[in-house]
Amino acid sequence: MPTLIRALLFPGLPILLVALFPLARPAAQGGAQPEIAAVRPAQLIGIPRDSYTSVATHAPLQYLRANATATFIVTYAGFTPQAQAAFQAAVDVWSNLITSPVPIVVNAQFTALAPNVLGSAGATYVVRDFTGAPEANTWYLAALANARAGLDLQPTLGDIGANFNSTFANWYYGTDGNTPPGQYDFMSVVLHELGHGLGFAGLATVSDGTGLWGLDGIPSSYDRRVVNGSLQALINTGLFPNPSAALADQLQSNSLFWNGAAGIAGNVNFA
């Protein structure tokens, strides 16, 4: 059996993922134009438990900025200097982990959210069947689609929308990983959430005991590579009809894994 990567990344943070990308209906596109749909991000809720996790040791931020392989353009609204510095540190880490020929536009807000909600972030839209798409009939999140296409497919829109709770009382804004007990590492949470916006997110949801993946019956690139512990693909409708209660059981099983070849090759012996 090959090594598998847990489908829900960044384990150990004191957060709870509430929902993955409920979707609006796509706007019809004429001719050979790619089809585009709007999406909404997930929310993270803080769990009052010390997990003692943080961003792993990284190169100095100045080095990361000077050697970036992807360009992020972030518009900040409402941020304190400390919160913005921690957010930018997470951006700098990602800019050294991925490669894109197209600048990634992030609209970030530091604003009041519901109690215990840490924040949310995600792609502002998904695209399928664009020139350069690796797979047909597959949704790609904005930043990933642009990188594959080699151009900004929606230049009037940002690629990632992010909202973080300005009234949450227990943020730690340091970038050294030394988060005190009882506080939440802001940089870690931003790093996690930006990962969803960059493509580490599927289009699966559970509502009233029924599981559903994709949009109009079409999976995302992430959905295509999620399997259970028996290597059964969740998009195999012969095993798990879409939608169905059986699919809901799988999505809530806490036994889902990423089975993409490149991910497995890059994470040998990691599960």
Comparison of pLDDT for 261 and 172, the residue scoring more: 172
What pLDDT does residue 265 have?
A: 84
Q: What is the pLDDT of residue 112?
A: 97
The DSSP bridge pattern shows strands 104-111 and 160-165 to be parallel
State pLDDT tens for residues 2-16: 333 333 333 333 333
pLDDT, tens only, 191-241: 999 999 999 999 999 999 999 999 999 999 999 999 999 999 999 999 999
In the chain, DSSP finds a helix count (H) and a strand count (E) of 6, 16
Higher pLDDT, 21 or 249: 249
What DSSP state is assigned to residue 103? P
What is the band of 34 on the pLDDT scale with cuts at 50, 70, 90?
confident
- Number of C-beta neighbours around residue 103 at 10 A: 14
pTM for the model stands at 0.83
Residue 140 near residue 196 (C-beta atoms within 8 A): no
CA distances from 239 to 60, 211, 221, 246 (A): 48, 13, 20, 8
The answer to whether residue 43 scores a pLDDT higher than 50 is yes
Report the DSSP pairing between strands 226-228 and 35-38. Answer: unpaired
pLDDT digits (tens, 9 = 90+) for 77-114: 999 999 999 999 999 999 999 999 999 999 999 999 99
Burial 7-45 (b: 16+ CB within 10 A, else e): beebeebbbeeeebbebeebeeeeeeebbbbebbbbbbb
Question: How many Å apart are CA 11 and CA 242, to the nearest integer?
Answer: 27
Residue 148 has pLDDT above 80, yes or no: yes
Q: Given this model, what pLDDT does residue 31 score?
A: 36
Residues with Cβ within 8 Å of 155's Cβ and at least 6 positions away in sequence, in order, are: none
54, pLDDT greater than 60: no
**Model pLDDT, residue 19:** 37
pLDDT at 50 over 70: no
pLDDT of residue 4: 37
Confidence of residue 132 (pLDDT cuts 50, 70, 90): very high
- Tell me, what's the pLDDT at 266? 79
pLDDT tens digit sequence for 244-271? 999 999 999 999 998 988 888 877 755 4
Query: Bigger pLDDT: 115 or 239?
Result: 239
> Which of these ranges, 30-34, 70-74, 186-190, 259-263, has the smallest mean pLDDT?
30-34
Task: Tell me what pLDDT residue 29 has.
Answer: 39
Torsion of CA 9, 126, 205, 114, to 10 degrees: 80
pLDDT given for residue 264 in this prediction: 84
